[in-house]
Structure 1
Amino acid sequence: MDVLIPLPSPEDGERALGIFERLMNQAGDGSHHLVIVVQGIGGPALSHFRYMQKGDLIVHVSEDWALEFCHLLAAAISGSLSGGFVMRTRTDAGTESICGWRITHGDTKPLSRSEVFDAYCHNPTTGETFGPEPGVEYKDAPAIH
Structure 2
Amino acid sequence: MTRELTTQEQFDAFADEVARELGTHCRTVELIDYDGGLGRLIITGDGRALRLCQPDDRHPDSLKIHAALPDGNKMIAPSIGVTARTARHVAREITRRLYPLHTEAARQAAELAAKQEAEESDRTAFARSSGLLARILDTARPGHRRLVCSVSAAPETLVAVLRADSDPDGASQLDEAEAVEFTTILALGLASGSPGGLVIRTAAPSSPDQVYGWRLRTGDFEPLTAGEIFDAYCTNADSGDLVPPESDVDYCVPPDLGPDATPSTHRR
- TM-score, length of structure 1 as denominator length: 0.87
Kindly report structure 1 stretches of 4+ aligned residues shifted beyond 6 Å: none
Residues 1:10 and 2:159 are matched in the alignment: no
Larger radius of gyration: 2
Secondary structure (helix, strand or coil) at the match of 2:245 reads coil
Secondary structure (helix, strand or coil) at the match of 2:165 reads strand
Larger deviation: 52-61 or 73-82? 52-61
Which residue of structure 1 lines up, in the alignment, with residue 179 of structure 2?
66
- Aligned residues between the structures: 140
Which residue of structure 2 lines up, in the alignment, with residue 53 of structure 1?
166
**Deviation of residue 92 (structure 1)?**
2.3
Aligned residues of 2:197 and 2:216 also touching (Cα < 8 A): yes
Aligned residues of 1:51 and 1:58 also touching (Cα < 8 A): no
Distance in structure 2 (CA, Å) of the matches to 1:10 and 1:56: 31
Equivalences for residues 100-111 of structure 1 within 5 A: 100-111=213-224
Residues 1:113 and 2:220 are matched in the alignment: no
Secondary structure (helix, strand or coil) at the match of 1:36 reads strand
**Deviation of residue 95 (structure 1)?**
2.4
**What is the RMSD of the two structures over their aligned residues, measured on CA atoms?**
2.0
Equivalences for residues 130-141 of structure 1 within 5 A: 130-141=243-254
Larger deviation: 129-138 or 119-128? 119-128
Identify which of structures 1 and 2 has the higher relative contact order when contacts are C-alpha pairs closer than 8 Å and 6+ apart: 1
Which residue of structure 1 lines up, in the alignment, with residue 25 of structure 2?
none
How many percent of aligned residue pairs carry the same amino acid? Answer: 29
Aligned residue identity for 1:41: A
Gap runs ≥5 in structure 1: 1-5
Question: In structure 2, do the counterparts of structure 1 residues 124 and 51 end up closer, same or farther at CA, with 3 Å as the change threshold?
Answer: closer
Greater helix fraction, Structure 1 or Structure 2 = 2
Distance in structure 2 (CA, Å) of the matches to 1:101 and 1:55: 27
Distance in structure 1 (CA, Å) of the matches to 2:129 and 2:202: 21
Greater strand fraction, Structure 1 or Structure 2 = 1
Aligned residues of 2:203 and 2:210 also touching (Cα < 8 A): yes
Distance in structure 2 (CA, Å) of the matches to 1:143 and 1:104: 18
Gap runs ≥5 in structure 2: 1-117, 262-268
Which residue of structure 1 lines up, in the alignment, with residue 150 of structure 2?
37
